[in-house]
Amino acid sequence: MIICPVCDHVQSEGEECEGCGKRFPGLMNIPAPAVAPLPELELTHHAGGRVPVDAPALPELDLTRLRSGPDLPAQSVPDLELTRSGTTGEVPVAPMTDLDTGRAQDDGVRTAAPVGAVTCRYCRHVQAEGLLCDGCGMRLPRVRVAAPATAKRRGADEGERVPCPSCHVPAWPGRACVACGTKVEVEA
The pLDDT of 78-94, averaged and rounded, is: 80
The answer to whether residue 52 scores a pLDDT higher than 80 is: no
Q: What confidence category does residue 155 fall into, taking pLDDT thresholds of 50, 70 and 90?
A: very low
The answer to whether residue 69 scores a pLDDT higher than 70 is: no
Q: Which residue has the higher pLDDT, 150 or 93?
A: 93
Mean pLDDT of the chain: 78
The helix/strand/coil state of 140 is: coil
The pLDDT of 133-147, averaged and rounded, is: 80
- Among candidate residues 21, 19, 23, 22, the one with its CA nearest the CA of residue 10: 19
The answer to whether residue 32 scores a pLDDT higher than 50 is: yes
pLDDT, one tens digit per residue, over 174-187 is 888 888 888 888 77
Q: Rounded to whole angstroms, what are the CA distances from 124 to 118, 119, 128, 136, 164?
A: 9, 6, 13, 9, 57
Q: Which amino acid is at 151?
A: A
Q: Which residue has the higher pLDDT, 119 or 62?
A: 119
How many angstroms separate the most distant Cα atoms in the chain?
117
Domain ranges of the chain: 1-30, 115-143, 156-188
The answer to whether residue 156 scores a pLDDT higher than 50 is: no
pLDDT, one tens digit per residue, over 33-50 is 788 888 887 766 666 666
Least confident of 64-78, 106-120, 122-136, 154-168: 64-78
pTM (predicted TM-score): 0.23
The helix/strand/coil state of 70 is: helix
Question: Regarding beta strands 10-11 and 118-119, do their DSSP bridges make them parallel or antiparallel, or are they unpaired?
Answer: unpaired
The C-alpha R_g of the chain, in whole angstroms, comes to 46
In this prediction, residue 123 carries a pLDDT of: 92
d(CA 130, CA 144): 10
